[in-house]
Structure formats: structure tokens, C-alpha cells
Structure 1
Amino acid sequence: MPTGIRDFGSYLPGPPVPATFFFTEAELASPIASNPLFKTPTTRHHVRDERAAEMIAAAAGPMFARLGIEPAGAVDLLITNVMLPDHPITGSGAEASQLLGCSPQWITDLHNGGCASFGYMLKIVDTMITAGAVRTALLCNVQNGAGQFFSQPKVRKSPYASVAGDGCGVAYVSATDGAPLLGASVLHAPEYARDLGLTGTRKYWEPGTEELMVSFPHEKLGDIIARGNRLVPEAVTDVCKQIGVATEDIDVLITNQPNKMFLQNWRRALGVPEERHLDSYEEFGNLYTAGVPVTFERALRSGAVTDGDLVVVAGFAHAGDMASAAAIRWRG
């Protein structure tokens, strides 16, 4: 039996944060604020005091209750991808397991997947289920950098800062039931891993008052944009070839939500109409690693994804060192 997705859960911290948290009304009308690459979403959510593991528990608890499942004994593998791990050494997986009351055989903090991590997780889980190593898994994606990182007094005036939002998306995967995973594709380009870094003169663990910020080398920005435009269509096309369908046959496309420009370029390259490419950017901003599962969960609750739909999820990470895609025949 193919690997199946049973359900999704999501959690968004705090009340919505308006665009005026970052810019005045006059600044929002400026050319940079309306640039498709940096267009400020209407709202987003910010982490304040929550730990990543608490966000996972808040997203997964209601999902398990809805499924009528007690987490204890129901999770063989727990995988997390957290933008800013609360503990830089131990990660968040063990703490999340403790809060949920489950005892996985495997706990993996997958730090390198970024915005491509959900498809990457699906491929890992499918490989382990096919090998008979696990039968169930909980996939956890947490974006917690907007309230803790991009809200710093100086950083928040950067055009990059206003696009970010916080949230958590989870998915419960099973070897015996759920919407079948039809195929998955992961593309690695490790030569680009160092094209994303932190501004500043000190190392992030060194003491100091200088605000650090995620940055791309200015001279490489054009190449990074071209890479982003190319990678998601490549990953989606690859997974569609695996399952013998054309990209135009996708019923629902769910990608990470970096900005309006990428969303438009991806669907045009794939021949997917705008109404079939789900867009949560205006409401939640760029949720980074959590963008795909949160958008998927909200689409299920709103009826935008229905039984029988061919759903393809995809994303690219960082400055383009990874991309992933996965195809699912929804049944739920």
C-alpha cells in the first residue's frame, strides 16, 4: 500500500500583524514596497513567547483529536524543520515529542530543508515506510523568524523583513491509510548553499548588540532570482514525469509563498491557471518552511482541495541549494 497522508494541522501565533508595523502608509506606497519581489502582504502573524515545540503541539494536538488518535504509540518517526531552533544543540523534536506524549522510534531535526523541507520529508518518510522501518510519521514545519528575527528595530525596516510571517504546519503520514503519495522529487545544488548568510561583522554566537539579518550577496541577487524561477518548475515537472501526467493536469498546486513574483512565474511556467495555484501570501506572508503545510491545511478546511484532486506540493530552499516536489491524490 502506498504511503498516505491522513491529515494536516496548523497553528498561527497571536493576532494578525498589519503592514504598518513595518512601514508608514506613505512608505507602503513607495516603489520598493509595491515591487513584486518585496510586496508587503496585508497581514502576517508573529511569534512572541512560544517555543517551536509548543507551536508543533498546538498544530498537532487538534489534528490527532480530529482523527481520534492518541499520539502515544501512534508516531514511529517525528521530523522537524524549524527556522530558528529554540535550542541550537538539541533542536526541537525531542521537546515536541514530550509535549505531545508520543515516543517515536526516530526523532530527526532536519535543518537543511528550508522552504523545500515538506517535499523532502515526504520522500524520506516514503523511503522508510517502503523499507519497513516505520509505519507512521509526524512531519513538523515551523517558521518562527518573523517575530524573533525580522522584528528587530533596525531589521524590520528592511524590505525583506515585512514579507515574513510565522506559523506551524504538521502532517500525519501512515503506511496503511490516507491520501496516497504518488511520487516525490528532491533536487540538490550544494554549490549555492553559501549564497545565503547573515549580515554583520560578528559570528552569530559571539556577544554584541549588532542586529543580524538574513542576506543574499547583492551581486548574486539576479542569479538567485533566476534560480528560484527555474527550480520549482523543474521539481514539479520531474515528479509529474514520474507519475505520467502533464503539469497542466495538476488540479491543485501548493508551493512555498516567497513573494507574488515567484508565484506568478511558477504557474505560468507550468501551465497551471491562477485559480488552481493556491495563494496564502496576502494573509500570512512568507511562511518559509511552514508555507506548504499551512496552505494545504487551510485549503482542506475551505474546500479548495477535494477528494480525487491531484495535488502537487513544491518549494525551493534558501538561495536555491535545494528544491522538492511531491504528488498526492487527495483522499480525506
Structure 2
Amino acid sequence: MTSAVAPAISIADLATYRPANKVPASYFAAFAQDDDLADNVMFRAPAFRHHAAEDETSADMILSAASILTARHGADYLNDVDVLLTHSQLPEVPVRGCGGEVAYRLGLQPATVLDVHNGGCAAFAHMIQIAAALLAASGGRKALIGLAQNSAGQIFTQDQVRGKPQAAIPGDGAAAATLTLGANGNPVLTTVCRSYGEYAPDMTAVSQPARKYWEAGPGQIHVGFTNAKIAKVLSRGNRLVPEVAVEAAERIGIAPAELDWFITNQPNRVFLRNWREALELSEEHHPDTFDECGNLFAVGVPMTLDALIDSGRIEPGQIVMTAAFAHAGDFAAAAAIRWNGRT
């Protein structure tokens, strides 16, 4: 399924948070084990990544990002939030997300609180589209979206997992963004969301010995990678991200090669290279934060966008195309944004 933003929605501002614990690749190298996946291109480690503190929750990190917005715009900046959406890579409680807690701790009383889980690495564009629909349906004034990637320091540093090639890739972080109806601010020109349910079963959590994630047992849960699954993910990812980005570009009447900026999720350097080559863009126009942050899953797109804005390289009126795919390829999304400046 594909759909465009209707009615118009704009990003007012966004902010991101990186936990204080900056972890070098050497940490994981010290635990590296012989593994038949060790040389796979999927697992070439970034120089650094950040890990959340042991007691730092999804809500904590989203609030850290949101506090930057209130520091920038004033303590009452979020008081008119009518829609709150949150996404946690690893919800602390299986039966709920962190949306209600975030609303309470920010002192907000939104009409709608929704925890959005299935968007995965493509959640930023997905949540923009959902926020537009909910604001229009409720006559709301402002939406706040919060995203947290909190699995790196919790899942991938376990003593049975940290020696695996996959462990060195993820990092932790969070993002928060405000959105309003209309074309003021930084208008979202279109969104594209596609669901591929047939690929969902290829994303698995495993342990040795095998158990369901809620069952007690000695095996530590991690992502179930095999060479066959990696081949499928590489093939799908190489195709899906350019597809949604090209479709979004066509909708707004611009050739992909003429985009000012292209920001994607960042699973590894191979995907980053293949995606920009598919759109015929130079590395300069495809910024990333991979070597500073690793794979941030859903937070990768807003983290890189925020870093680009802070760098001063983006000029008012330029087009930012964001695109990402999730999990083993069961979801992909893109959003085209005309960036005018923080409001």
C-alpha cells in the first residue's frame, strides 16, 4: 500500500539524544568469537556507538530529546500537544509501550496517545503519516513523536551475545519531533509507506538453547541471522529503499539525482553505498552518522537529519528525502521534506 500525506503537515522542529556512554569498536573486538558470519558485509563495525545506561529507559531517552525542544523554544512549547506517538525498539514492558509515561512525565494531556511498534527502522516516516491523519481527524494543534533505540546496551552486550558479529553494529539513542497541520514550517511534501507481510517471518529472535522470549531459561535472546537470511535481507534492502525514495521523488516532480539531501536508515556501509548509487547521488548528498552512532534503527533518520541541520550545510528551501526499510524487509517508507529551518 502507498499513500501521500493528506492533509498537509509540517515538521516544526526535532531534537536528538545520544547516551553518554560512547563505546569503541575495540570493546566488541575483545570478545569476538569465531563465527561463520564474522566476515559478512552486514557486520563491518562502526568506529563508535552509544549505549544507554543500565537503568535508562525508552521514556528517559525520549524525554532527554524532548527537553532540548523545550530548552530551545520555552517551557510551554509542548503544552498544546494533542497527539503523542512513541516508538521503542525494545519496550520495557511487553504489554505496553512508553507513550503514557512520556505524556505524564512531560505534563501533557493529549487526546490521543499511541505506541507505534511495527514501523521498525522506517518508523520516522510512518509516524509522520499517522500524525497527519490523527491531527486532521481530531482537529488537533500539534503532534509530538518520540523514538527510542534502546536495545544495543541491553541485548548486544550480554555475555553470550557480545562476541557475535551482530553485536558491534547497533547503538542507542532517541529523537523527538513536533508536527503541525498546514504548510508552515518544514512541509512534508509526501510520504510513501509499503507493507510486505510475506517477509515478516524472516525476522526472528533466537537463543541457545532455544526458548520463547518470555520463557525462563539460560539462553540469551538475540537476532536470528543465518547466511541465507542475510542474503534475502541484502537483496530486499537494496531494492526497497530506492523504490520508496524514487516513488516519493516522482510524486513531487523531482528526479532522484537532483535531490538536495538523501537520509536513510544505516544498517551498514554496504547499504549506504548501494542506496546512494541507486539514486545517482554523491556521498556528499547522503549524510549518515554510522561511524559515530552505529545502526540506530528507527532513530537513524532523525539523528542524521538533526546532525545535518546543526552542521549548517542545509539551506532553506532544500528538499530532504528520507527513506528506510524495517526488519527483514516487511515494511519500507519514505518522506520528502522541504526544510526551511527550525520553528
How do residues 10-49 of structure 1 correspond to structure 2 at under 5 angstroms?
10-24=16-30, 36-48=41-53, 49=55
Q: Which residue is equivalent to 2:217?
A: 208
Tell me the CA shift for residue 209 of structure 1.
Answer: 2.0
In structure 2, what is the Cα distance between the partners aligned to 1:222 and 1:183?
A: 31
SS at match of 1:89: coil
In structure 2, what is the Cα distance between the partners aligned to 1:100 and 1:136?
A: 15
Tell me the CA shift for residue 31 of structure 1.
Answer: 11
CA contact 2:135–2:143 (8 Å) conserved in 1? no
Taking structure 1 as reference, are residues 296 and 72 closer, same or farther at Cα in structure 2, changes over 3 Å only? closer
Q: Which residue is equivalent to 2:286?
A: 277
* 5+ residue gaps, structure 2: 1-6
Q: Which residue is equivalent to 1:195?
A: 202
State the Cα deviation string for residues 3-47 of structure 1 (Å, max 9, x = none): 11111111111231011111139x69x997675421111110001
Tell me the CA shift for residue 72 of structure 1.
Answer: 5.2
Q: Is 1:246 matched with 2:252?
A: no
In structure 2, what is the Cα distance between the partners aligned to 1:98 and 1:183?
A: 32
Q: Which residue is equivalent to 2:60?
A: 54
Q: Is 1:75 matched with 2:81?
A: yes
In structure 2, what is the Cα distance between the partners aligned to 1:276 and 1:31?
A: 35
**If the length of structure 2 is used for normalisation, what is the TM-score?**
0.91
State the Cα deviation string for residues 254-284 of structure 1 (Å, max 9, x = none): 1111000000000000111110001210110
Bigger Cα displacement from structure 2, 56-65 vs 112-121: 56-65
**If the length of structure 1 is used for normalisation, what is the TM-score?**
0.94
Q: Which residue is equivalent to 1:328?
A: 337
Tell me the CA shift for residue 89 of structure 1.
Answer: 1.4
Q: Is 1:318 matched with 2:327?
A: yes
SS at match of 2:102: helix
Q: Which residue is equivalent to 2:185?
A: 178
SS at match of 2:42: coil
Taking structure 1 as reference, are residues 159 and 304 closer, same or farther at Cα in structure 2, changes over 3 Å only? farther
In structure 2, what is the Cα distance between the partners aligned to 1:172 and 1:36?
A: 36
State the Cα deviation string for residues 44-79 of structure 1 (Å, max 9, x = none): 000122111011110011112212351553211111
Match of 1:88 among 84, 94, 110: 94
In structure 2, what is the Cα distance between the partners aligned to 1:266 and 1:115?
A: 15
In structure 1, what is the Cα distance between the partners aligned to 2:258 and 2:141?
A: 31
CA contact 1:307–1:331 (8 Å) conserved in 2? yes
Identity across the alignment (%): 42
CA contact 1:180–1:330 (8 Å) conserved in 2? yes
* 5+ residue gaps, structure 1: none
SS at match of 2:81: coil
Aligned residue pairs, count? 330
